[in-house]
C-alpha cells in the first residue's frame, strides 16, 4: 500500500545548538549535500515507491523542523502533538499544529508531559511501541494509551547516543522489528521479546550507521546505506532494501525515519 507521509525541506537545516551527542557546532552539514540527500529520499518515496509526500513549510531558526517525525504521532484522524524537552525545539509544535489544522485534521491534542512524537513511538500492528528516558517521559505513555485507546509497550532507553527510540528500533512489518538491544534496558528487552514474534538484532556498529532509523511499507525498507551488514540482515529476512546516503543528517542525530512522519 502506498503511504502518505509528511516531510519538511532542509532549507534552514544546520547545527545551531547541541542537544544530543551527535551534534557539534564545529561539524556543520554542507547545505548542498544535505539538500541532495533529502531530495534523493523524497524521490525514492514519490518516484520509486509511489508514496504521496506532503510538505511542511520550513521556518528559519528552527533547523530541526526537518525531522518531521518528531512533531507528533498520527493514527487515523487523531494527532497527538509533541511537547519537546528542549526549548530550542518547542516552537516547532505550533507550526506543525497549524499544518494539521490547515489540512483538515480536527482531533488534535498536545501532550501534557514531555513527548517527542514519532521520535519515540512506532506503530506495531495495533500496539504502540514507545520509548522514554531521554526526551519523552513515561507519563506521556499514559496519555497515548488513553488518547489512542491502544496498548503501549514502554521501553526505557539507556544509551544517550540513541536518545530517540527510532534511532535504535524500527518496525519492518506486522510481525518483525529490528533493534539494537544495548540501547534499552534488560526489562525493556524482555517486554519487546514478549510483544514481537520476529526480532532482528543489530550490533552497535550497525546502529551507528543509522540503518535502524528506517521506514518500511512491510515489503521494502528504506534506510541509510552506511551499514552493509545490516542491509544484508534485512535482505536475508526477505525484505527489499533501498539504502540511501543520509549521513549529513546524522550530524544532527537524524536519518531517514526522522525526516518522515507517517500520516496514513
Ligand atoms: N537534532 C535533533 C534532536 O536532537 C535530531 C532529531 C532526530 N529525530 C529522530 N526522530 N530521531 O532533537
Range 65-75 average pLDDT: 98
Catalytic residue ranges: 164, 258
Cell matching residue 68 = 518531521
**Position in ligand 1 atom list of the atom nearest CA 257:** 10
- φ, ψ at 6 (rounded to 5°): -115, 130
C-alpha 210/C-alpha 230 separation (Å) is: 10
Query: 3-state class of 160 per DSSP?
Result: helix
- φ, ψ at 108 (rounded to 5°): -120, 135
Nearest to 133 by CA among 89, 185, 78: 185
Which range marks the domain in which residue 14 is found?
4-262
Q: What percent of the chain has pLDDT over 90?
A: 99
Give me the pLDDT at residue 264, please. 83
* Centre of ligand 1 from the C-alpha of residue 125, in Å: 24
Residues with Cβ within 8 Å of residue 96, at least 6 apart in sequence: 56, 68, 71, 72, 81, 82
* Centre of ligand 1 from the C-alpha of residue 64, in Å: 7
**Position in ligand 1 atom list of the atom nearest CA 86:** 12
Task: Assess contact for 163 and 184: CB atoms under 8 A.
Answer: no
Does the Cβ of 119 fall within 6 Å of ligand 1? yes
Give me the pLDDT at residue 74, please. 98
Domain of residue 235, CATH code: 3.75.10.10
pLDDT (tens digit, 9 = 90+) per residue, 153-188?
999 999 999 999 999 999 999 999 999 999 999 999
Does the Cβ of 120 fall within 6 Å of ligand 1? no
Task: Assess contact for 120 and 138: CB atoms under 8 A.
Answer: no
Does the Cβ of 83 fall within 6 Å of ligand 1? no
The answer on pLDDT for 1 being more than 80 is no
Query: For ligand 1, atom 6, which residue shows the shortest CA distance?
Result: 254
Does the Cβ of 208 fall within 6 Å of ligand 1? no
Task: Assess contact for 209 and 230: CB atoms under 8 A.
Answer: yes
C-alpha 124/C-alpha 156 separation (Å) is: 17
Average pLDDT of the chain is 98
C-alpha 35/C-alpha 64 separation (Å) is: 14
Range 185-207 average pLDDT: 98
Q: What percent of the chain has pLDDT over 70?
A: 100
Where do runs of H (alpha helix) occur along the chain?
Answer: 31-43, 92-102, 138-148, 186-195, 204-208, 228-236, 247-250
Where do runs of H (alpha helix) occur along 6-148?
Answer: 31-43, 92-102, 138-148
- φ, ψ at 177 (rounded to 5°): -135, 140
Does the Cβ of 69 fall within 6 Å of ligand 1? yes
β partners of residue 109: 80
**Position in ligand 1 atom list of the atom nearest CA 167:** 11
Query: 3-state class of 194 per DSSP?
Result: helix
Range 85-112 average pLDDT: 98
Band (72; pLDDT cuts 50, 70, 90): very high
Number of independent structural domains in the chain: 1
Amino acid at each position: 500500500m502506498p503511504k502518505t507521509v509528511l516531510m519538511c525541506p532542509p532549507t534552514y537545516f544546520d547545527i545551531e545548538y547541541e542537544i544530543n551527542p551527535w551534534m557539534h557546532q564545529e561539524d556543520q552539514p554542507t547545505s548542498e549535500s544535505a539538500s541532495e540527500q533529502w531530495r534523493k529520499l523524497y524521490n525514492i518515496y514519490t518516484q520509486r515507491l509511489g508514496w504521496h509526500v506532503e510538505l511542511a513549510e520550513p521556518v528559519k531558526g528552527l533547523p530541526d523542523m526537518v525531522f518531521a517525525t518528531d512533531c507528533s504521532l498520527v493514527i487515523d484522524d487523531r494527532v497527538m502533538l509533541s511537547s519537546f524537552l528542549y526549548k530550542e525545539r518547542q516552537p516547532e509544535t505550533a507550526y506543525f499544529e497549524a499544518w494539521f489544522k490547515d489540512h483538515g485534521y480536527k482531533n488534535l491534542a498536545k501532550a501534557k508531559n514531555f513527548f517527542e512524537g514519532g521520535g519515540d513511538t512506532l506503530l506495531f500492528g495495533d500496539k504502540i511501541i514507545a520509548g522514554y528516558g531521554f526526551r519523552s517521559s513515561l507519563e506521556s505513555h499514559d496519555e497515548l494509551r488513553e488518547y489512542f485507546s491502544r496498548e503501549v509497550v514502554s521501553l526505557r532507553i539507556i544509551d544517550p547516543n540513541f536518545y530517540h527510540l527510532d534511532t535504535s528500533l524500527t518496525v519492518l512489518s506486522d510481525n518483525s522489528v529490528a533493534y539494537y538491544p544495548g540501547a534499552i534496558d534488560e526489562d525493556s528487552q524482555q517486554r519487546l521479546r514478549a510483544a514481537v514474534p520476529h526480532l532482528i538484532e543489530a550490533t552497535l556498529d550497525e546502529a551507528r550507521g543509522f540503518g535502524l532509523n528506517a521506514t518500511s511499507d512491510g515489503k521494502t525498507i528504506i534506510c541509510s546505506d552506511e551499514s552493509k551488514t545490516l542491509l544484508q540482515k534485512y535482505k536475508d529476512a526477505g525484505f527489499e532494501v533501498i539504502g540511501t546516503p543520509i549521513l549529513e543528517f546524522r550530524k544532527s542525530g537524524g536519518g531517514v525515519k526522522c525526516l518522515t512522519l507517517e500520516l496514513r
